[in-house]
Every structure is written in C-alpha cells, then in structure tokens.
Amino acid sequence: MNYKIIDKEKYYRKGVYRHFSEDCKCSVSMTARIDVTELVSSSKRRGTKFYIDFLWILCKVLNSRDDYKMGYLWQSDELICYDVINPTQYIFHKDTETCTPVYSHYCEDYGRFYEDARADIEKAKQTREYMLDAANHPNWFDASFVSWLSYDSLNVELPDGYLYFLPIVNWGKYREENGRLMMPLTVRLNHAVADGFLLANVYRLLEKEINAFTEGK
C-alpha cells in the first residue's frame, strides 16, 4: 500500500474540504440505473461472469481519478490519496444467509484480475466466517452486489462525524426496461472530497468504460 499526503492548503477543494470535514460532516449518495445490455451480451459471448466483468470495470473507473482514491489518517489528521484502491466484495452463503468479505486486488490486466477474483470467490465459499479485517486493508473500498432485488433507492449510513473517504458502491439485479437491461447502482462518497459532479462522473465514466470493454478496446 502506497499513498501520497495531500497538502490541505494547496488542495483544489480546500474550502469545500474544510467545510464538510469541520462544519458539516456528511456524505452524499446517488442511485441511478445504468444500461448493461451490451455488457451482459459480451459476458455471455466470452463465457465470463457478468459480476466479475462489471467489478473490474468499476475498479478501473474508481482508480482513474485521484478524487475516488482519497483517504483520511485520523491519528495524524492527514488527507491522503492512495496509489490504488481495491474492492472488498461479499460472498453470500445460502445455507447460513450470511456474507463473507473478500479482499481482492485490482489489476489493470483484465485477465489476471478475472482469474484472481474468481479464485477469491471460490475460496470464500469454503468458509462461513465473517473475517472482516479493515485495519489491515485500508485502501479497500466496499463493492457489494444486492442480488435479490432491482431496487430504486439505497442509502448507507455511517456515524456522524466519521471521516471515511473511500467509495461505498452497491448494485442490484438488472431488469428489462423498454428492451434494455438496466441495473441500479448506488455510489456513496464523503462530501469533503466529492460533490455532485464527481458523483455523477462515476456513472459517466462507467458508461464510457463499458462501451470500451464491450467493443474490445
């Protein structure tokens, strides 16, 4: 894990950061449906799992801009930016109706990421332990698939005053709407390091990367 320390006096969001980290500590979240029609078709053609394909694209998007890789060291009150952030995915066990966190590593190489993530999933299926280890995985963001529902809204609450800057991302089942497969996606970011533009930009970048992926670019 590597990171750089951000000089808060030179940070381009200096005023916003101060306000939302001191005066009004809060987060902002958005739920919107994204078109995954071509990605579903692509996964079927490739014989790959849609879930892992989407997870890789999501990781690529969130690692494409420093704003989505921010962190906070409360011990020293330092704003940092990680070199890379990785996904904490969750595996659901039908027999116990519980989840196991899975700490996967993001890799720019799709093939390597796919095989590693698939292996991580298979390993997690062999246990029923929760095994949360956030302290030793500071640059891992939550990436959770709500597989039972194509929802319209979802909100993740964190304690008031808790400066947690990594993204929290959830998505649900896709469903057909007017001949297209639309999937709900919820992105939560801390308002100190993100605003409406940066939040909406996640969806815009996902659209761009899904198109590139399905077109083989």
Domain parsing of the chain, residue ranges: 3-214
> What mean pLDDT is predicted for residues 109-128?
96
CATH architecture assigned to 3-214:
2-Layer Sandwich (3.30)
Cβ(19)–Cβ(94) below 8 Å:
no
The secondary structure of residue 139, as a DSSP letter, is T
Share of the chain above pLDDT 90, in %: 93
Which pLDDT belongs to residue 80? 98
Mean pLDDT for the stretch of residues 65-86: 97
Query: What is d(CA 197, CA 184) in angstroms, rounded to the nearest whole number?
Result: 19
How confident is the model at residue 51, as a pLDDT? Answer: 97
Q: What is the mean pLDDT of residues 172-180?
A: 97
Residue 150 scores a pLDDT above 70: yes
**Which residues have a Cβ under 8 Å from the Cβ of 80 and sit 6 or more positions away?**
3, 4, 5, 6, 70, 71, 72, 73
- For residue 59, give every residue at least 6 positions away whose Cβ sits within 8 Å of its Cβ, in sequence order, or none: 85, 86, 87, 106, 113, 143
What size, in residues, is the chain? 217
Helix, coil or strand: residue 11: coil
pLDDT at 102 over 60: yes
Q: What is residue 217's predicted lDDT score, i.e. its pLDDT?
A: 56
Q: What is the mean pLDDT of the chain?
A: 95
